[in-house]
A and B are shown apart, each in its own frame.
Chain A
Amino acid sequence: MPVFHTKTIESILEPVAQQVSRLVILHEEAEDGNAMPDLAVPVRAVKAAVDNLVRVGYETVNSSDDQILKQDMPPALTRVEESSLLLLDASDLLRADPYSGPARKKLIEGSRGILQGTSALLLAFDESEVRKIVRVCKNVLEYLAITEVVDRMEDLVTFVKNLSPVLTRMTKNVDAREKELTHQVHRDMLLRSLEQVKNLTPVLISGIKIFITAKQSGQGLVEAQNNRDYTVRKMSDEIHEIIRVLQLTTYDEEEWD
């Protein structure tokens, strides 16, 4: 079961997560340990990277119109920033005493905090990206909802002209997202629903066409309407399923299990 739910987050955090757990294990196995080397240079490198992340993070928060991102990102940035101060403390303490126990604790707490804070930050950013895709999906749902007012061939032409680019955008976004996920079950669910939507699109257009013809001829109107509405419902259900799966993380499923 993957720990990180996207390949991007995994590629960024997995190596540092491994290093941090190794340090924790070593610390637990050898409480007093060897003398620590001077960590001033690597700690300064971390601090510089943290300062840059904080700057970029607040720029992102200020330029975004996503209220949830604006709310979620600052605590993660604070966590990272505070953790980097623990590392600076650890480095100072170790310079005075390379065997310092409190310094080792601060080192572990600081590196763990940076890992957790960066993870929270990446998660907040990723969720914001998912909300963008969800908005595109909801746009398609809005178009599907107006199917019932399409009762002339001219309207159908306009309907298809408007629906096609939104549908293409949704397909492209969901397809790209599917490739990003580490959880195979979620990937399969997205692919299956997307395939259904693709297959149902020509069925919908043909259904609307049959409905328009039936309305003009006055024959088989109820059946044509039922068929059209059934296809709209099926497509909407699949898009709702896509939205649901997009918002899932591996953690959700473990919690559910």
Chain B
Amino acid sequence: EQILEAAKSIAAATAALVKTASAAQRELV
């Protein structure tokens, strides 16, 4: 259970990071 919760946190944090990076790129495309 703890593993699943920890994996959820990583996935959410990574998705947020990548979204921020994508947002900057998208302005150009």
Say yes or no: A42 contacts B10, CB within 8 Å.
no
Interface size class of chain A, counting residues whose CB lies under 8 Å from the partner chain: 35 or more
Say yes or no: B7 contacts A42, CB within 8 Å.
no
Q: Is A30 an interface residue (CB 8 A)?
A: yes
Say yes or no: B18 contacts A16, CB within 8 Å.
yes
Residue of B nearest to A87 (CB): B17
Given A15-B11, A52-B9, A23 contacting B21 (CB threshold 8 A): yes
**Which residues of chain B are within 8 angstroms of A34 by Cβ–Cβ distance?**
24-25, 27-28
Main secondary structure of the interface of A (DSSP, over half): helix
Main secondary structure of the interface of B (DSSP, over half): helix
Cα A34 to Cα B22 with chains together (Å):
10
**Which residues of chain A are within 8 angstroms of B19 by Cβ–Cβ distance?**
19
Q: Is A20 an interface residue (CB 8 A)?
A: yes
**Which residues of chain A are within 8 angstroms of B27 by Cβ–Cβ distance?**
34
Cβ 8 A contact of B7, one of A36, A46, A53, A107? A53
In order of increasing CB-CB distance, the 10 nearest A-B pairs are A42-B17, A53-B6, A26-B25, A19-B18, A49-B9, A16-B15, A49-B10, A16-B11, A46-B13, A45-B13
Chain A interfacial positions (CB closer than 8 Å to B): 8, 12-13, 15-16, 19-20, 22-23, 26-27, 29-30, 33-37, 39, 42-43, 45-46, 48-50, 52-53, 56-57, 59-60, 80, 87, 107, 111, 114-115, 118, 121-122, 125
